[in-house]
Structure 1
Amino acid sequence: MRVLLTGSSGWLGRYLAPMLRAAGHEVTGLDVAPGPDTQIVGSVADRALVDRTMADHGIEAIIHSGALHKPDIARYPRQAFVDVNVTGTLNLLEAAVAAGNDRFLFTSTTSLMIRADVRAGAGEAGAWWMDENFGPLEPRNIYGITKLAAEQLCRLVHREQGLATLILRTGRFFPEEDDTLTAPHGLNLKANELLHRRLTVEDAAAAHIAALEQAPAIGCDSFILSAPPPFTRDDAAELARDARALIERRFPKAAALYAARGWVLPDRINRVYDPSHAEARLGWRARTDFAAVLDALEKNAPLPFAHDPAYTSPIVRQERASCMN
């Protein structure tokens, strides 16, 4: 299948493009920044470029993973988010319909589910249990607002034109440091997040491969992508009160393995992402979870997730290089 992959120079794109090719697909990458898997340099906000790319490359399916992200809020005005995340998505959806495509994947984010009260901490019943039915959705910044608007466009085009559109709300898989949390940080934070809100970039890419295959049969649906949590809804109150005790019961070796690294387990967990719907409908399950972290610690092996404090997106690197010239 001839697939258009937006965001092909980004962190997800660098893993997803070769995985698509390995699955037998022909990939055309489109991104605002150049990269080894990017054939078309430009913006999805440019409708003429999108239409020309679709025609010139005979595109049969679109995976739209390109976007302005939360860290870009400090660098771009709100209008840029509307142009790229909303208008760009509409351009691609309409181009897919015009080309007679039968499937469209939209890479969304769990960030749009984080209302102000969720951000503030646990709810009355304990940790928030975040599945596809969680609501109401009230994103707290322009990134979340525009991603939610783009999701609604996907649903609208499915209803009106019949294009199969799957929405993949990914948990965290970025390699850089968190831009808000300071303790714990780095490897310790990412390891902790695999308990409830993170997945590896490899698992995120694999979910897209599964969704591409299943999209026509499903029609339209949204999916949360995260590592499978070792908790249930019945654990919500204890997670918000004393997550460490619960984790140590589930993983008796965790405390000692963490102590040997000078790491700390979370005292409280205020929200848990539930990927069970993706497992049931897509047949996808993240291969890397918290147990894999403990196994690596016990064997003194490399940790099973990427961590690069110096990572910057391709567009940021490009802009910095331009400023130096």
Structure 2
Amino acid sequence: MRILLTGSSGWLGRFLAPMLRARGDTVIGLDVAPGADTDVIGSVADRALIDRLFAEHGIEAVVHGGALHKPDIARYPAQAFIDVNVTGTLNLLEAAAKAGHDRFVFTSTTSLMISTTIRNELADHAVWLDENSGPLEPRNIYGVTKLAAEQLCRLARLENGLNCIVLRTSRFFPEDDDTHRDLSGENMKANELLHRRLTVEDAARAHMVALDHAPEIGFGSFIVSAPTPFDRQECDELKRDAATVIARYFPDAPALYAAKGWELPRSIGRVYDAALAGKLLGFRCETDFGTVLDALRQEKPLPFAHDPNYVSPKEVSGVG
């Protein structure tokens, strides 16, 4: 397939583009910043550019990963999020429908499922989140625009028959958390693989699977996250004493963590359940918390990327 990949210079794009090419797809990368996998510099908000790309490159499918993200809230006005995340998605959907495409994959985020109440962990239990969770009340402009874009994908299926898969990915950024600094970045990422993270490699693989399955699904929204070992019935205890629950599943985790100078989470406030992606897409992340413990046992490199100095290419190039 001739695939238009937006956000090709970004963290996901730099992993996804080579994977697609390795299996025989032709990838046309679009990004506002230059990169090894970017063929065209420009914005998805530029409708004339999108139309020209479709005409000149014979685009057959779209993977739309380009967006302004949560850290960008401090740098860009709300209108920029509307222009890129909403109008840009609409531009691509309309161009894809006009071209008669049979598949469109949209990179969304679990962040849009997190209300202020969930974010502040006010409940006396861990909140179990799956595709039926709601009502959805995004807490910032990033979540609001991603939810709006998801709804545009749904309408594209209903009104134009465009097969769309929405992937609500949990965390896979390489840098440190921009709000929490209690633990080291590696310690936090390892902990999050229990309930709210995946590797960028798994995120890329999920997009390829979604691309392949879109025609048989029609429309679907899926959480994509490392498989949690926990059960919904453990939500009360996870909030009260997560370390005890973790030790039941992984008896040597406390000792392995202690040797590393890490801390297990004392309390877990939310859990992402990615079971539906396994059931309908046949996708399961290859890396999970158990993989981390295996690396610690064998004194091997950690199975996830961590780069506290990572900066988005658009900020490096100053074209954001």
Q: Shorter chain as normaliser: what TM range? A: over 0.9
Paired position in structure 1 for 2:176 = 177
Please report how far the alpha carbon of residue 15 of structure 1 lies from its aligned counterpart in structure 2 after TM superposition: 0.3
Q: Secondary structure at the match of 2:24?
A: coil
Q: Matched residues in 2 for 1:205 and 1:39: separation?
A: 19
Q: Matched residues in 2 for 1:23 and 1:222: separation?
A: 25
Instruction: Give a deviation string over 1:168-188, Cα, whole Å, max 9, x none.
Output: 000000000000111113100
Is 1:224 matched with 2:218? no
Instruction: Give a deviation string over 1:113-156, Cα, whole Å, max 9, x none.
Output: 000110111535x1111100110000000000000000000001
Please report how far the alpha carbon of residue 24 of structure 1 lies from its aligned counterpart in structure 2 after TM superposition: 1.4
Q: Matched residues in 1 for 2:79 and 2:212: separation?
A: 34
Work out whether residues 112 and 147 of structure 1, in 8 Å CA contact, stay in contact via their aligned partners in 2: yes
Q: Which amino acid in the other structure matches residue 314 of structure 1?
A: P
Is 1:248 matched with 2:247? yes
Paired position in structure 2 for 1:189 = 188
Instruction: Give a deviation string over 1:178-231, Cα, whole Å, max 9, x none.
Output: 001111131000000000000000000000010000000000010000000010
Paired position in structure 1 for 2:16 = 16
Q: Secondary structure at the match of 1:3?
A: strand
Instruction: Give a deviation string over 1:265-306, Cα, whole Å, max 9, x none.
Output: 000001000000001111110000000000000111000000
Query: Which residues in structure 2 correspond to 1:121-136 (within 5 Å)?
Result: 121=121, 123-124=123-124, 126-136=125-135
What RMSD in Å do the two structures reach over aligned CA positions?
1.0
Q: Matched residues in 2 for 1:113 and 1:184: separation?
A: 24
Instruction: Give a deviation string over 1:3-31, Cα, whole Å, max 9, x none.
Output: 00000000000000001111211100000
Q: Which amino acid in the other structure matches residue 17 of structure 2?
A: A
Q: Matched residues in 1 for 2:180 and 2:55: separation?
A: 45
Q: Which amino acid in the other structure matches residue 156 of structure 1?
A: L
| Identical residues among aligned pairs (%) | 67
Query: Which residues in structure 2 correspond to 1:115-126 (within 5 Å)?
Result: 115-121=115-121, 123-124=123-124, 126=125
Paired position in structure 2 for 1:272 = 271
Paired position in structure 2 for 1:309 = 308
Q: Matched residues in 2 for 1:36 and 1:182: separation?
A: 32
Paired position in structure 2 for 1:82 = 82
Is 1:150 matched with 2:149? yes
Q: Which amino acid in the other structure matches residue 226 of structure 1?
A: S
Work out whether residues 178 and 185 of structure 1, in 8 Å CA contact, stay in contact via their aligned partners in 2: no
Instruction: Please report the TM-score for the alignment, with normalisation by the length of structure 1.
Output: 0.97
Work out whether residues 177 and 308 of structure 1, in 8 Å CA contact, stay in contact via their aligned partners in 2: yes
Larger mean CA deviation between 17-26 and 87-96 belongs to 17-26
Q: Secondary structure at the match of 2:220?
A: strand
Q: Secondary structure at the match of 1:198?
A: coil
Q: Matched residues in 1 for 2:217 and 2:274: separation?
A: 17
Instruction: Please report the TM-score for the alignment, with normalisation by the length of structure 2.
Output: 0.99
Work out whether residues 199 and 227 of structure 1, in 8 Å CA contact, stay in contact via their aligned partners in 2: yes
Q: Matched residues in 2 for 1:293 and 1:67: separation?
A: 30
Paired position in structure 2 for 1:5 = 5
Q: Secondary structure at the match of 1:135?
A: coil
Q: Secondary structure at the match of 2:12?
A: helix
Query: Which residues in structure 2 correspond to 1:158-173 (within 5 Å)?
Result: 158-173=157-172
Work out whether residues 129 and 236 of structure 1, in 8 Å CA contact, stay in contact via their aligned partners in 2: yes
Paired position in structure 1 for 2:138 = 139
Q: Secondary structure at the match of 2:166?
A: strand
Q: Matched residues in 1 for 2:171 and 2:74: separation?
A: 19
Is 1:292 matched with 2:291? yes
Q: Which amino acid in the other structure matches residue 211 of structure 2?
A: L
Q: Secondary structure at the match of 1:53?
A: helix
Q: Secondary structure at the match of 1:140?
A: coil
Q: Matched residues in 1 for 2:284 and 2:16: separation?
A: 16
Paired position in structure 1 for 2:212 = 213
Work out whether residues 122 and 271 of structure 1, in 8 Å CA contact, stay in contact via their aligned partners in 2: no
Please report how far the alpha carbon of residue 249 of structure 1 lies from its aligned counterpart in structure 2 after TM superposition: 1.1
Q: Secondary structure at the match of 1:111?
A: helix
Q: Structure 1: which 4+ aligned runs deviate by more than 4 Å? A: none
Q: Secondary structure at the match of 1:68?
A: coil
Paired position in structure 2 for 1:55 = 55
The count of residues paired between Structure 1 and Structure 2 equals 320
Q: Which amino acid in the other structure matches residue 54 of structure 1?
A: F
Q: Matched residues in 2 for 1:134 and 1:94: separation?
A: 29
